[in-house]
């Protein structure tokens, strides 16, 4: 996937991501304000998350429950000092659960990331548009 989109397109973009990825571990790359959290919120909505979705910037991880009693993990590693912090919080155990793991700022834990994780790159374009690329 390589598309330009606006906020109005987010439901379609999120649906396409969920339907097309082979891994439930999604890595979100993009500068501050590129729309990582906004896209994650829409993905969570489509996964039927029941909880309030917010960025776990200070807690590192938020755990959400879906209507089907499944879990979705939302990580934000923007403020992490080193990979040891992620290991201390049990990042490997989260990956082993086979639940959805949505990871903002994955470059800060690059040596710990699952090899089969899907990389999602977001960039800001003109006039309220964004670009998304999946790798």
CATH number at residue 46: 3.40.50.300
Q: pTM of the prediction?
A: 0.95
Tell me the percentage of the chain whose pLDDT exceeds 70: 100
Please tell me the predicted confidence (pLDDT) of residue 57. 78
Q: Which domain holds residue 108?
A: 2-134
Question: What pLDDT, in 10s, does the model give residues 13-63?
Answer: 999 999 999 999 999 999 999 999 999 999 999 999 999 999 887 889 999
Q: How many domains does the chain have?
A: 1
Please tell me the predicted confidence (pLDDT) of residue 24. 97
Three-point CA angle 23, 57, 43, nearest 5°: 35
Question: Contact, 3 vs 131, CB < 8 A?
Answer: yes
What residues form DSSP beta bridges with 76?
104
Q: Which two tokens stand for residue 40?
A: 């994650």
Please tell me the predicted confidence (pLDDT) of residue 105. 97
Please tell me the predicted confidence (pLDDT) of residue 63. 96
Question: What pLDDT, in 10s, does the model give residues 67-92?
Answer: 999 999 999 999 999 999 999 999 99
């Amino acid at each position: 996937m390589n598309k330009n989109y606006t906020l109005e397109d987010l439901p379609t973009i999120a649906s396409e991501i969920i339907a097309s990825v082979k891994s439930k571990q999604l890595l979100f790359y993009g500068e501050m304000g590129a729309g990582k959290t906004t896209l994650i919120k829409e993905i969570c909505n489509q996964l039927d998350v029941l909880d309030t979705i917010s960025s776990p910037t200070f807690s590192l991880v938020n755990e959400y429950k879906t209507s089907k009693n499944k879990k979705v993990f939302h990580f934000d590693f923007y403020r992490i000092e080193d990979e040891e912090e992620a290991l201390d919080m049990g990042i490997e155990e989260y990956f082993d659960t086979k639940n959805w793991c949505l990871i903002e700022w994955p470059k800060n834990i690059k040596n710990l990331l699952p090899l089969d994780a899907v990389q999602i790159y977001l960039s800001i374009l003109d006039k309220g548009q964004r670009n998304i690329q999946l790798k």
